[in-house]
A and B are shown apart, each in its own frame.
Chain A
């Protein structure tokens, strides 16, 4: 895929590469740098692998102070910076450019403090999402956001994208589970935003920083909320003949005052692939499957699942199955969480991430089939039904340029559809480069200007992850003006 254009790299940094390497080596040590071609190649892309670009060099700092020195140097020398965690971004959020330094926080992964009484943990952001829960699990606690990539993805990336996961229906997304941040600005200033308290006065800089996709600064530490895990949890599976019936059933469950921990939706193609992979016991003869999970004690779980079965009955489900035991529960979730990987085994796919109002589900699913059919492509749908976050997986052939183009075009049509019905371009993957040029579908020029001014407050020279998130035409004046105003190279 190559439809998304990136600006021409600046020649200056490329010519000065060896000087820059020496300068940074003096600041943070040669061991923190990767400048050979083989080493840099590992950083040339992220999980949006269709786009690749070799970075100028890669820096792996070990402390906030190092990050501060690196950013100050880049600022003084007008060098672009691409912040990076584990590189699992699905939207090209960590895609390098040839003239940019990749600043990767993956070596900064210490747990600095766990405070069970006040239910917080202070960690460095290179830690993986799952490692936080792993640390506090011994006391029965967990960190709530659970993106499918949680084994690999870093908290830094979760903060940048405001990541969610299957269980955010009850527990919220990243922004609901973070109290404080340590952020380094492009001029090297170290800023403490928020803290360990449940609220902080003044402008809500925390909200701006979370989900800012590396546009505002580099976050090196975070104070996150840790929660005591429920006594138990159990999923049930409801199979339906038609997507609209499944959608109506979700509305009825929520309308009855029950908020399950998760309500996941899979369509027939997704069910078949995930069942072949996980052997979870998904029904294979239905058009739509809901996985509904509830939490509590054994009696509470039994009572809630009975209520949900009762609510579902008028919608004539083809199958109702409550998970028999912990083993089946694990397989039900393993199948769902491995959906992307499982589908990846049968075909290349392009994963979309729009969010829609639940009521629009039947219309949107029909249109998605039509859109993909129109391009001669197949699609499998996975959907966080409780909160309207849709993941159509468009199946295509990555080795066929024509198929590539069609997949991207179908994806863009689907996202425009999401906006048209009152939803948005991205629910949890972020904008990056992937949806950058679609931003003007959702936002007016004024809306975008308001956002871009925020970036200018934090990053006046537009050096951080520039040329992402905002359409190039909209950001060009700022990027151009700021280049001109930036201090001359040392």
Chain B
């Protein structure tokens, strides 16, 4: 079995990395292993886990800031925030369960290393947007910091945000500092039923063009909607188009009325109250409508919102594919039948023509080893990407191959 290194302090991680450099050994970097089945698999000499780098180091509710060691479970962070009626602004999603890993294992380091943003991204911003600073150890065994604990900070290059989405290939994050926000007092959801995908996206983008601060804009076509745990919606037997409003109670009800009036031509929506709304969006956030299955592969497509339905329709011409649209159509979770290339050729062609990026989230290890998991890079981007890898990790020991072969 591969040796597992479990540093409990930054200096310990530094000395472990230094030793790996000396011994010319490579390392797979994990938190609590929640994302081990997502992305490309890493074949490394040892595993380094941040699981023992754990605990909050700063929480100032009135300054909306928190710091935590990177291995702290996301669930612990959210529990602590909940005590003060606060939350993470970007509603992080956990790709663990849909890729066959246990639920609730995701660490806060993993959230930022993969920029795992949920539905609120459309108005609230992404994980990357709310990162204020971090500490990390790079492949040179150097401990460094970037950013800080204050909201506005343009001191030097923004290396901290530059590390979000790098999947542990540049440095091992040891501590993150991020912005938090108050939980909204009330939530309401408008549910339009029976709309085809293109019309649904029209509703969603129109709603986002109103002043009512829609904080969730998703569309679940009929077959996928039947999987919802929320019985009232699952049993509707129809496609569901969802618009979330969050604010003080009076403002939510006022905005519901105004938004409904602005969207009158699309019919009369069902209205979900705070409790039902929260249950629904929590369910969507957990990706439980995309349960792990060996019979299907899962793609995550980021595109211009109005192009989402076209991309899906184009792919559906060549295979049976089921979609779930978030971000008003700009994020498509696409389930396709298991195949040798997970439908890669068709998916990438459909996306390339219309602009966007496709990431293969779930597929067998063999498929993920042979098919490009992340969108292939253009030559100039690849040149800069390789340059960054060399700058942070010249010996190529950290999570080599996790995103792209040989990087």
Residues of B with C-beta under 8 A to A481 = none
* Residues on B facing A (Cβ under 8 Å): 60-65, 85, 115, 117, 121-122, 125-126, 128-129, 138, 142-146, 148-166, 170, 181-183, 185, 205-206, 208-211, 213, 247-248, 250-251, 254, 258, 302-306, 327, 330-331, 355-357, 359, 374-375, 377-378, 380-381, 383-385, 387-388, 390-392, 403
Q: Given the complex of chains A and B, what is the CA–CA distance between A461 and B122 in angstroms?
A: 39
Residue in B closest to A252 when the chains form the complex, CB atoms? B62
Residues of B with C-beta under 8 A to A205 = 162, 381, 384
B182: min CB distance to chain A, Å: 3
Residues of A with C-beta under 8 A to B115 = 199, 204
Q: Given the complex of chains A and B, what is the CA–CA distance between A357 and B157 in angstroms?
A: 21
Q: Given the complex of chains A and B, what is the CA–CA distance between A455 and B162 in angstroms?
A: 13
The A-B contact count (CB < 8 A) is 262
Q: Given the complex of chains A and B, what is the CA–CA distance between A115 and B205 in angstroms?
A: 11
Stretch at the interface among A41-49, A318-326, A384-392: A384-392
Residue in A closest to B331 when the chains form the complex, CB atoms? A198
Q: Given the complex of chains A and B, what is the CA–CA distance between A296 and B248 in angstroms?
A: 11
CB < 8 Å: which of B122, B164, B359, B381 contacts A198? Answer: B122
> Residues 176-201 of chain A: 1 if any B CB is under 8 Å from the residue's CB, otherwise 0?
10000000010001111101111111
- The answer to whether A197 and B388 have CB atoms under 8 Å apart is no
A319: min CB distance to chain B, Å: 23
Q: What are 25 residue pairs bridging A and B, where the CB atoms are less than 8 Å apart in the complex?
A: A118-B306, A169-B151, A176-B129, A195-B355, A201-B302, A203-B165, A212-B157, A251-B63, A254-B64, A255-B62, A257-B182, A297-B258, A300-B247, A303-B251, A355-B148, A355-B150, A357-B65, A358-B63, A388-B63, A424-B150, A443-B156, A447-B145, A447-B156, A449-B142, A451-B156
Whether A408 is near chain B, meaning CB under 8 Å from some CB there, is no
- The answer to whether A450 and B152 have CB atoms under 8 Å apart is no
Residues of A with C-beta under 8 A to B381 = 191-193, 202, 205
Residues of A with C-beta under 8 A to B150 = 355-357, 387-389, 422-424, 427
Complex interface residues of chain A between 159 and 184 (CB less than 8 A to chain B): 161-162, 164, 168-169, 172-173, 175-176
Nearest 9 pairs of A and B residues by beta carbon: A207-B161, A257-B182, A457-B387, A427-B152, A387-B151, A251-B62, A453-B391, A355-B150, A255-B62
Residue in B closest to A231 when the chains form the complex, CB atoms? B211
Whether A220 is near chain B, meaning CB under 8 Å from some CB there, is no
- Count residues on chain A whose CB falls below 8 Å from chain B CBs: 95
Residue in B closest to A117 when the chains form the complex, CB atoms? B205
- The answer to whether A202 and B375 have CB atoms under 8 Å apart is yes
Max chain B CB contacts within 10 Å: which of A190, A251, A259, A355? A355
B150: min CB distance to chain A, Å: 4
Residues of B with C-beta under 8 A to A425 = 155
- The answer to whether A299 and B254 have CB atoms under 8 Å apart is yes
Whether A119 is near chain B, meaning CB under 8 Å from some CB there, is yes
Whether A456 is near chain B, meaning CB under 8 Å from some CB there, is yes
A473: min CB distance to chain B, Å: 16
Q: Given the complex of chains A and B, what is the CA–CA distance between A468 and B281 in angstroms?
A: 47
Residues of A with C-beta under 8 A to B85 = 257
- The answer to whether A389 and B129 have CB atoms under 8 Å apart is no
